Amino acid sequence: MDKKLTNSPNKPWAEKAEQVMIRYCGAFSSMVVEKALGSYMYTAEGKAILDFTSGQMCSIFGHNHPAVVAAIGQACEQSIHLLSTVLSPPVINLCEQLSEMLPSGLDKCILLNTGSESNEVAIRMAKLVTGGFEIVGFTGSWHGMTAGAQSHTYSQTRQGYGPVMPGSLAIPAPYAYRCPIRHCEGRCDNSCLEVGFEMVDKQSVGAYAAFIAEPILSAAGIIDLPPAYIKRLKELCQERGLLLIFDEAQTAFGRAGYNFAFERDGIVPDFLTLSKTLGGGLPLAATVTSKEIEATCYDLGFINVTSHVSDPLPAQVGLAMIATLFGERMVQKAREQGAYLKDQLLQLQEKHQCIGDVRGRGLLLGVEIVQDRETKTPAVALGHEISERCLELGLSMNIVRIKGFGGVFRIAPPLTISREEIDSGISILDQAFSEVTKKFSSN
């Protein structure tokens, strides 16, 4: 049966989209957005939709932040695009500022377009410098849609596309709410980590290159790697000669209550990949590594020439994002507003039995939907209906389905969100939970 492109049948724009667009995400949203500003999107009919996902988690300082808009205008008067081997002041300055923000060992940068690209570069460099080809990741991870990044993505996009890159290995993510090895409950004691490495050691052909991880696994349902877990992960990687790649597509630039999420744990990765939040809504990514790794790769002939590597326009925006991060105290806002939002969600949990768990840190939070808190029975259909009702009431929510488990609301509003806007979102959530759960219970 042919699936509809959108959830909006009989609308002129939906019919047009049905005719001309490749269906790349199941069904599109039931609305068309003509304008976005701050914490809101505005439909063609003028309806305001509070955005609890910052677009695709990218507009971290709000939609169309004035600093981003000004940076685009400045770049348009200087240079938008150059030959890949030709550098510009914004590119050099952005790499310099990123290096200054980061600890020793994360010293040299390459500027790219997407998170997929930044992870591809880290993986390519890790393979080159180690001579290995095996990359270990987490079940439930999401690192991109290009061939290498997708090979080490274990969420829900693997089936049907043929073989992945050789050397793709995975260990269970420390999903404390539903322990993957049925050992812990509510608090990870690292057993899954130890068992996971024992398993990949048995599968490895002796060609380890890197371990790739998000400090907070997002598509897996907001799984925050505990400090003790990260420390042990680093030790296990060092024992095996695995270089550690931290993919901070969603957790950097204040989102998790730090400039970079890894700062909480005092562990410096061998590679840091940035995207989404770095560009504030524009396609901008970076791979950062040490001087030593970069020098070795250069001596070995490393090359990664793409059409838009080191483009000046997005680099100009990246500089504006750094200035805004510090100038508007975004880390502090994420901590304060995140704590407030989490407290409000916990209060909703006391009221609504379908909320099984509330987790996350900063302004990257997860709310898991269940049928029954005792059995933790997943309630995916319920979660989707709540999401749809929220949109009807004026709140955009994102629910991720964890294969084999349930559905989790992934909540990541702009760091510029106000208390009043949080209260408005919570009020809509409360109403949606009440209405939809009543409907389900009566069926």
Q: How far is CA 347 from CA 267, 338, 360, 379, 429, in A?
A: 34, 14, 16, 20, 12
Contact (CB, 8 A) for 210 and 136: yes
Contact 132, 208 (CB under 8 A): yes
Q: Is the pLDDT of residue 1 over 80?
A: no
Average of pLDDT values for 143-165? 91
Residue positions annotated with a catalytic role: 142, 214, 247, 250, 276, 410
Please check whether the two domains, 39-61+329-442 and 67-327, share a CATH topology. no
Place of tokens 């326009």: 313
Is this model's pTM higher than 0.85 or not? yes
Report phi then psi at 243, rounded to 5: -80, 140
pLDDT of residue 410: 96
**Assigned CATH topology for domain 39-61+329-442:** Aspartate Aminotransferase, domain 1 (3.90.1150)
Residue 186 clears pLDDT 80, i.e. is over it: no
Instruction: Report pLDDT digits (tens) over 222-269.
Output: 999 999 999 999 999 999 999 999 999 999 999 999 999 999 999 999
Residues 77-85: contacts with CB under 8 Å, at least 24 apart: 78/312, 78/316, 79/312, 79/313, 80/311, 80/312, 80/313, 81/308, 81/311, 81/312, 81/313, 82/310, 82/311, 82/312, 84/305, 84/306, 84/307, 84/309, 84/310, 85/305
Task: Please tell me the predicted confidence (pLDDT) of residue 403.
Answer: 67
Please state, in angstroms and rounded to a whole number, the distance separating the CA atoms of residues 47 and 45. 6
Domains in the chain: boundaries? 1-30, 39-61+329-442, 67-327
What pLDDT does residue 44 have?
85
pLDDT bin (cut points 50, 70, 90) of residue 18 is confident
Whether pLDDT at 2 is above 60: no
The burial of 195, by beta-carbon neighbours within 10 Å (0-12 exposed, 13-18 middle, 19 or more buried), is given as middle
Percent of the chain with pLDDT over 70: 96
For the record, the structure tokens of 130 come out as 């180690």
Evaluate whether the domain defined by 67-327 bears CATH number 3.40.50.1220: no
HSE (side-chain half, CA atoms, 13 Å) at 166: 7
What is the per-residue pLDDT for 384?
93
